[in-house]
């Protein structure tokens, strides 16, 4: 019974699962928290990975390891392989102006957006690595001068697990490369001309591996005493592509992940190129594509509502379910971190429709859950407009642990949702990739995810209609009326 390990180095924490490579059965697991903030020293991820590996009982007996990670984060390395500055994460919006500039320089407006969508599958937003490189070049020229290579969080962790053997050994995969803004899912090639356009010069970038190609061997000495052998390293991938692998998403499935980000994505046979920018045309971890809509505000909207009400998650859920559908007209626009889809990087959240009648904890809890879900439902519409088929909606991520989310989602999405057993599907997808690398074969091993629960409810169209009235009404961070 060979064992494999999968890692999810996501925004808020690092999770490690150890599973049986052939059956997928869970053997053991561990986790460790990540620091707060949208700018993080990559060594904090490394420390969390070591702690999570330790909590998972070490890696001495595993045949292969793969790392899934938060997408897009800019990790800059100097000639010696040292980190130049803290990584800017996918949810850091300081490069929003750089995104606008890159679109303007490509012809501006519709033409500029189309250029980028056709070249890289996606229209630049502050999340993408290319815009962060532009920001660095403009705002920190001394740091920019020291940069020799750029990679993503999962690339860097995989490289560290291999013992950090020089910049030429950096490896990535199609899924994560597709979120950089300088790699084309359509051609499978880097667009180093676009990296140069963003940053001013070319940099070393990781070699892009195929879905089951090995990134080398784990270096036990790199693990600072944690138990490990010479396991194979998988290519790893971005966390959404890993989640798709973890839940076994296939044609007709749309996955909705409610983590720090809210994501809505499907596995597709052809690449997307949405010039509106709503759908990012990523690649997946199996050789196919992963059209995806991402919001900056998902599980943390629930965290914030719970904090405002002075309750925990279970009570927030009970309150939301006690409130009426539509919260008697109370609407939360959930742009607490600015927003990416729609593109509102400087927006703040808002409550609209407040009356004496709906000024209750239950109404506020309901409005928070509904507002967060309405933003994702808008994403689902955008994905379907790009040709995705939603025969089944699979709900995952920390927010799916909320009973209110599970029960209100079908009302807002207008379709039933399927919820797999609570689990770490990003880490599981990485483990499944590791098993694919260890066992070989044309497709990943056939693992099952256990009994799913289906939640169905009558659609309540008034919730989305009311949200549509409110979603453009907000003030930005500087306090200027914007809608
Ligand atoms: N029962 C729950 N109800 C609502 N939110 C929850 C619940 N359990 C966890 N969360 C939230 O889920 C988030 C973590 O989800 P996760 O998918 O692990 O995020 P990420 O992958 O972005 O780090 C946290 O914001 C946490 O507070
Ligand atoms: O930016 C995106 C997708 O494009 C995010 O989905 C990040 O990949 C972070 O994921 P979580 O930590 O929220 O899972």
Summarised one tens digit per residue, pLDDT across range 202-251 is 999 999 999 999 999 999 999 877 778 899 999 999 999 999 999 999 99
Q: Is 313 annotated as a binding residue?
A: no
Q: Which atom of ligand 2 is nearest to the CA of 282?
A: 4
C-alpha 75 to ligand 2 mean position (Å):
16
Q: Is 71 annotated as a binding residue?
A: yes
Is pLDDT above 60 for 415?
Answer: yes
Q: ipTM of this model? A: 0.99
Topology agreement, domain 3-240 and domain 248-416+456-477: yes
C-alpha 399 to ligand 1 mean position (Å):
5
Residue ranges of domains in the chain: 3-240, 248-416+456-477
Ligand number with the minimum distance to the CA of 263: 2
For the domain with range 248-416+456-477, which CATH number is right: 3.40.50.10860, 1.10.10.10, 3.30.420.10, 3.30.420.40?
3.30.420.40
Q: Where does 3-240 sit in CATH, by number?
A: 3.30.420.40
Q: Percentage of the chain surpassing pLDDT 90?
A: 97
C-alpha 216 to ligand 1 mean position (Å):
33
Average pLDDT, the chain: 97
pLDDT in tens, 190-205: 999 999 999 999 999 9
Active site residues: 239
Nearest CA to ligand 2 atom 10: 70
Cα 478 to chain centroid distance, Å, stands at 27
Any atom of ligand 1 within 6 Å of the Cβ of 299: yes
Confidence of residue 483 (pLDDT cuts 50, 70, 90): very low
Any atom of ligand 1 within 6 Å of the Cβ of 397: yes
Q: Percentage of the chain surpassing pLDDT 70?
A: 99
Ligand number with the minimum distance to the CA of 122: 2
Select from 34, 173, 263 the residue to mutate for testing ligand 2; criterion: most ligand atoms less than 8 Å from CB. 263
pLDDT in tens, 321-362: 999 999 999 999 999 999 999 999 999 999 999 999 999 999
Is pLDDT above 80 for 299?
Answer: yes
C-alpha 162 to ligand 2 mean position (Å):
24
Q: Which atom of ligand 1 is nearest to the CA of 258?
A: 17
Q: Which atom of ligand 2 is nearest to the CA of 263?
A: 6
pLDDT in tens, 39-85: 999 999 999 999 999 999 999 999 999 999 999 999 999 999 999 99
Nearest CA to ligand 1 atom 8: 398
To the question of pTM greater than 0.95 for the whole model, the response is: yes
């Amino acid at each position: 019974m060979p064992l494999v390990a999968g890692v999810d180095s996501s925004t808020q924490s690092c999770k490690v699962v150890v599973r049986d490579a052939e059956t997928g059965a869970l053997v053991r697991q561990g986790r460790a928290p990540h620091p707060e903030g949208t700018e993080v020293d990559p060594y904090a991820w490394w420390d969390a990975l070591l702690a999570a590996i330790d909590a998972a009982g070490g890696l001495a007996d595993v045949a292969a390891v793969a790392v899934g990670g938060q997408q897009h984060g800019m990790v800059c390395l100097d000639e010696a392989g040292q980190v130049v500055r803290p990584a800017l994460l996918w949810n850091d919006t300081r490069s929003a102006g750089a995104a606008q500039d890159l679109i303007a320089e490509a012809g501006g407006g519709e033409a500029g957006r189309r250029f980028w969508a056709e070249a890289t599958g996606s229209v630049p937003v502050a999340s993408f690595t290319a815009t962060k490189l532009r920001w660095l070049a403009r705002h920190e020229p001394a740091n920019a001068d020291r940069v020799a290579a750029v990679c993503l969080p999962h690339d860097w962790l995989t490289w560290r697990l291999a013992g950090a053997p020089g910049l030429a050994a950096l490896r990535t995969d199609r899924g994560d490369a597709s979120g950089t803004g300088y790699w084309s899912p359509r051609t499978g090639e880097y667009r180093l001309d676009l990296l140069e356009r963003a940053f001013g010069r070319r940099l070393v970038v990781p070699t892009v591996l195929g879905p089951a190609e090995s990134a080398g061997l784990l270096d036990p000495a790199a693990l600072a005493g944690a138990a490990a052998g010479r396991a194979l390293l998988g290519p790893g991938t971005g966390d959404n592509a890993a989640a798709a692998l973890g839940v076994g998403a296939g044609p007709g499935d749309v996955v909705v992940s409610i983590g720090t980000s809210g994501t809505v994505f499907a596995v597709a046979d052809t690449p997307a190129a949405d010039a509106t920018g709503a759908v990012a045309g990523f690649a997946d971890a199996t050789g196919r594509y992963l059209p995806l809509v991402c919001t900056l505000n998902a599980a943390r909207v629930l965290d914030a509502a719970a904090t405002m009400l002075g309750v925990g998650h279970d009570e927030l859920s009970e309150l939301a379910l006690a409130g009426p559908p539509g919260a008697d007209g109370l609407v939360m626009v959930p742009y607490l971190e600015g927003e990416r889809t729609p593109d509102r990087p400087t927006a703040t959240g808002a409550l609209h429709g407040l009356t004496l009648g709906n000024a209750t904890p239950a109404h506020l809890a309901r409005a928070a859950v509904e507002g967060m879900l309405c933003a994702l439902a808008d994403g689902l519409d955008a994905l379907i407009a790009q040709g995705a088929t939603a025969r089944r909606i699979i709900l995952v991520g920390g927010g799916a642990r909320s009973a209110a989310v599970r029960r209100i989602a079908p009302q807002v999405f207008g379709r039933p949702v399927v919820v797999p057993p609570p689990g770490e599907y990003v880490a599981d997808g990485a483990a499944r990739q590791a098993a694919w690398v260890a066992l070989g074969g044309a497709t990943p091993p056939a693992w099952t995810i256990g009994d799913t629960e289906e939640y169905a409810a009558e659609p309540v169209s008034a919730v989305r209609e009311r949200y549509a009235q409110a979603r453009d009404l907000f003030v930005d961070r500087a306090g200027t009326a914007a809608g």
